[in-house]
Amino acid sequence: MDFALSEEQQAIFDMAHSFGQDNIAPHAQQWEREGTIPKALWPEIAALGLAGLYVPEEHGGSGLSRLDATLVFEALSMACPSVAAFLSIHNMCAKMLSAFGSDETREKYLPKALTMETVFSYCLTEPGSGSDAAALKTKATKTNEGYSLTGTKSFISGGGYSDAYVVMARTGDDTARGISALVIEDGTEGLSFGGLEDKMGWRSQPTRQVQMDGCKIPPENLLGEEGKGFKYAMMGLDGGRLNISACSLGAAQTALTATLAYMHDRKAFGQSIDQFQALQFRLADMEIELQAARVFLRQAAWKLDTQAPDATQFCAMAKKFCTEAGSRIVDQCLQLHGGYGYLADYGIEKLVRDLRVHQILEGTNEIMRMITARAMLAK
Ligand SMILES: Cc1cc2nc3c(=O)[nH]c(=O)nc-3n(C[C@H](O)[C@H](O)[C@H](O)COP(=O)(O)OP(=O)(O)OC[C@H]3O[C@@H](n4cnc5c(N)ncnc54)[C@H](O)[C@@H]3O)c2cc1C
């Protein structure tokens, strides 16, 4: 058993970290205020091979492992978890195109997904179904020209911003086996968007409803087989859960590093506040929790990479553990900054807001417990 990163993995982390520090961190607060991420950023990220992280090389991707990908997301989220998490969603879609798309679908969409000329969003949630995603109602009715897509997706990261959407829709019965995955392009007749959601965090990412009304979808835009869309969507989520965990850890590391420096400089009662043992214990607790979360995340990623039978359970457990640890740490870091932690200039309050949603999306942490408990009971 070897817990060290390889030289190549360290280089991947360093490359993503330095890109984030140079090109994302200086602008993160401004993008949050503007409520959007400049589209010009994405081709630069794609040029580093970060748009198709686990798309195999023969399909033009980087062919990295899930563990490698967590390093990228941890490194980028040290600059801004909202930007990093958005890239994770695009990667999830790119992987779905590569893994399940026919040759024709891949040729049509993958090259531009890998350069991020086409930015992708993932549309599963609906106004009436979130955790119970298989209850979705969006319908794709077969026509002579392909499909006619009608329904509403809610909370879509990149809604009204992205260039194309992977949409899970019903082509068959009311069960999970009646769901298929289809690609719809921006500009399709009948495709419209709700108003911009006013959110607590992830504010640089536009979130809107995606509304489809009789949208004509060509047959080659069906990913894989009819009726397998829910399975594909869930397979994407295992990796998504690892990525979102990594985003929590990167942001928590940034907050902890900043807090150490702040506590050294800040004086109270005649000494640096890092000299109070009660606060030192809190620093130690945060470090222990962060290190434990990182090891757990990498173990879960390794399970997914090696297709271990309990990979889904481990991805769920790591997601619950890491996202809650991340939120606890950034909240403590805010507290240790005193009143300054509450000010936007110090960058900590943004992390508290950004990380909160990691406990809700990619499956809520209650659902992560449900997956874990079911696996325990099945044994
Ligand atoms: C900022 C943001 C961005 C998002 N981006 C996307 C996106 O890009 N694409 C997309 O498809 N979705 C996206 N989502 C949606 C997200 O995945 C859902 O919000 C999430 O899955 C929860 O669904 P819900 O909001 O309908 O809550 P519900 O499913 O209604 O859950 C409400 C509460 O009940 C709990 N609960 C539900 N069922 C159970 C159960 N069986 N046992 C115990 N507790 C349960 C939940 O944990 C939660 O606490 C996004 C959400 C947000 C907030």
Q: Is the CB of 181 under 6 A from ligand 1?
A: no
Q: What is the structure's pLDDT at 210? A: 98
CB of 123 shorter than 6 A to ligand 1: yes
pLDDT at position 1: 79
CA of 57 relative to ligand 1 center, distance in Å: 34
Specify the ligand 1 atom closest to the Cα of 362: 17
User: How far does CA 148 lie from the centroid of its chain?
Assistant: 29
Ligand 1 contacts CB of residue 89 (under 6 A): yes
Atom of ligand 1 nearest to the CA of 364: 47
Q: Give yes or no for residue 125 CB within 6 A of ligand 1.
A: yes
- Does the pTM surpass 0.85? The reply is yes
> Is 72's C-beta closer than 6 angstroms to any atom of ligand 1?
no
Note the pLDDT tens digit of each residue in 157-177. Answer: 999 999 999 999 999 999 999
Q: Show the beta-strand stretches assigned E in the chain.
A: 120-123, 139-143, 146-157, 164-170, 179-185, 191-193, 207-217, 222-223, 267-268, 271-272
Q: Give me the pLDDT at residue 236, please.
A: 84
Gap from CA of 264 to ligand 1 centroid (Å): 40
Q: Rounded to the nearest whole angstrom, what is the distance from the C-alpha of residue 103 to the centroid of ligand 1?
A: 33
Q: Is 154 helix (H, G, I), strand (E, B) or coil?
A: strand
Q: In angstroms, rounded to a whole number, what is the distance separating the alpha carbons of residues 269 and 107?
A: 66
Burial class (CB in 10 A: 0-12, 13-18, 19+), 220: middle
Catalytic residues: 362
pLDDT tens sequence for the chain (379 residues): 789 999 999 999 999 999 999 999 999 999 999 999 999 999 999 999 999 999 999 999 999 999 999 999 999 999 999 999 999 999 999 999 999 999 999 999 999 999 999 999 999 999 999 999 999 999 999 999 999 999 999 999 999 999 999 999 999 999 999 999 999 999 999 999 999 999 999 999 999 999 999 999 999 999 999 999 999 999 888 999 999 999 999 999 999 999 999 999 999 999 999 999 999 999 999 999 999 999 999 999 999 999 999 999 999 999 999 999 999 999 999 999 999 999 999 999 999 999 999 999 999 999 999 999 999 999 8
Angstrom CA distances, 38 to 20, 22, 44, 287, 348, stand at 14, 15, 11, 34, 23
- Ligand 1 centroid to 160 CA: how many Å? 20
Q: Which pLDDT does position 2 carry in this prediction?
A: 86
